[in-house]
Amino acid sequence: MTAIVATNETILVVGGGISGMTAALEAAETGKQVVLVEKTAALGGRTSQLYRYFPKMCHPTCGLEINLRRLKANPRIKVLTLAEVTGITGGSGDYTATVRITPRYVNENCTACGECAKVVSTQVDDQFNYKLGKTKAAYLPNAMAYPQRYVLDASIIGTAEAEKAKAACKYGAIDLDQKEETMQIKAGAVVWATGWQPYDAAKIQPYGYGRFKNVITSVEFERLADPHGPTRGKLLRPSDGKEAKNVAFIQCAGSRDENHLRHCSRFCCMASLKQTHYVHENFPEDGKSTIYYIDIRAIDRFEDFYQKVKADSSVTFTKSKVARISLNEATGNPICHGVDTEGYHRYANEHDLVVLAVGMEPSVKGMSIPASVAADSSGFIEADPLNGGIFGAGCATNALDVNRSVQSATAAALRAVQVVNKVARAEA
């Protein structure tokens, strides 16, 4: 049984992405007790699934590493992974959250030596790589996972595979008897930082995602570019493993669209601009990127980044939202059809690979958060006095980039700290 000491002066942070980690650290570093609850097996969220991030093109590893170091050094933060908040009752200063913990089948003794993975042969979908590849059923969630602990996939529990893994572990770290458990956690304030999920591209029917192998999403493209990804960082397209040298990016795929997401997802123009770098780097001689856009929204200080990409002769900008994609059966190439706004010319352009700059929607929508909070028409949490001591942070509140997520998380932490300070004063 996992033991957690939590009181009305504890701050509960739900979601362990960059926003949740930031909120937890900021609150803990002012001296508060924090419980950080993360649904998956490791912290980092979607940021850890990026290859590099704008505007400075750093690897997410560096940003996350600093945070992890702060986290490890701070005894006031208790991290729960594979844990999901399923209900919250009470009010500001006095909440009780119900948390469901899924078994990992590996305990704290794990040294991440990897012996268990060597003996297991079952393969499962690699969630970290958006299922673009497979991973062993005994796996480390990702190379820089925190906690650095393996996970046994539930599908092998009760099979000989699990026993093999257990026998291979020299540290007694594998515990096949772990069961799902539910616990109650008290908290004075809650920071809700459950982040975002990519819009389901298959719903944009004319683009053929799911029907055409070489139409992928921007999040999948990040994984292709990453040396830890399924193609070891080579831009190889899914249908035939051919090098994708001529890449199209379709902006607003599912955003700014009354039939899909109404809002502008804000970061996807920058994401595609960034991803043209990946093409250029992989194929300095003959890489080509084409960005199909309605208008480029590289807000405020990102303008410079945009201007640099514009100056890159390997990148073409076509002002037009692609109407539909068809397939060249012989080559496997997707063909983008549309009419361009600057001159109204029809085009039918063939590319090696099409990347849909998919929109961002809240991963837990306002209405499905297990407590009453105000949300906008897209499901993002709004700041509202009626939310009491529950504060949204990061992409749970809006489509934000990492920098703005961190700002929003710091603000949420401050508000949560004020609530528990009030509780402390009342109890003193």
According to the binding rule CB under 6 A, does residue 251 interact with ligand SF4?
Answer: yes
Half-sphere exposure of 32 (CA within 13 A, CB side): 33
The residues in 237-276 that bind another protein, with binding defined as CB under 8 A, are 252, 256-260
- Compute the distance between CA of residue 311 and CA of residue 410 in angstroms, rounded to an integer: 36
Pick the closest to residue 278 from 324, 216, 337 (CA basis): 216
Nearest to ligand SF4 of 50, 269 (CB atom): 269
359 to 398: interface string for ligand SF4, x by CB under 6 A? x---------------------------------------
Nearest to ligand FAD of 194, 255 (CB atom): 194
Binds 194: which of ligand FAD, another protein, ligand SF4, none (CB < 5-8 Å by kind): ligand FAD
Nearest to another protein of 52, 297 (CB atom): 297
Binds 116: which of ligand FAD, another protein, ligand SF4, none (CB < 5-8 Å by kind): ligand SF4
The only residue of 116, 216, 219, 402 in contact with ligand SF4, by rule CB under 6 A: 116
Asked if 393 contacts 191 with a C-beta cutoff of 8 angstroms, the reply is: yes
According to the binding rule CB under 6 A, does residue 220 interact with ligand FAD?
Answer: no
Asked if 98 contacts 190 with a C-beta cutoff of 8 angstroms, the reply is: no
Pick the closest to residue 380 from 402, 390, 395 (CA basis): 395
Closest separation in Å from C-beta 353 to ligand FAD:
15
Residue 2, Cβ density class (10 Å: 0-12 exposed, 13-18 middle, ≥19 buried): exposed
Asked if 394 contacts 255 with a C-beta cutoff of 8 angstroms, the reply is: no
According to the binding rule CB under 6 A, does residue 8 interact with ligand FAD?
Answer: no
Angle between helices 60-72 and 18-29 in degrees, nearest 10: 30
The residues in 265-294 that bind ligand SF4, with binding defined as CB under 6 A, are 265-266, 268-269
The only residue of 87, 114, 206, 210 in contact with another protein, by rule CB under 8 A: 206
Q: Residue 29 carries which DSSP code?
A: H
Nearest to ligand SF4 of 115, 200 (CB atom): 115
Closest separation in Å from C-beta 255 to another protein:
9
According to the binding rule CB under 6 A, does residue 141 interact with ligand FAD?
Answer: no
Cα dihedral 279/283/285/287 (nearest 10): -40
Pick the closest to residue 275 from 221, 199, 215 (CA basis): 221
Q: Tell me how far CA of residue 215 lies from CA of 162, 278, 282, 358, 400, in angstroms.
A: 37, 17, 19, 12, 25
Residues 6+ apart with CB under 8 A from 31: 76
Q: Tell me how far CA of residue 212 lies from CA of 56, 215, 225, 265, 322, in angstroms.
A: 33, 6, 20, 24, 16
Nearest to ligand SF4 of 8, 47 (CB atom): 47
Q: Which residues bind ligand FAD (CB under 6 A)?
A: 14-20, 37-40, 45-47, 50, 53-54, 84-85, 193-196, 198, 218-219, 222, 267, 271, 274, 363-364, 394-395, 400-403, 405
Q: Which residues bind another protein (CB under 8 A)?
A: 206, 252, 256-260, 294, 319-324, 337-341, 344, 346
Q: Which residues bind ligand SF4 (CB under 6 A)?
A: 106, 110-116, 150, 168-169, 171, 173-174, 251-252, 255-256, 264-266, 268-269, 297, 357, 359
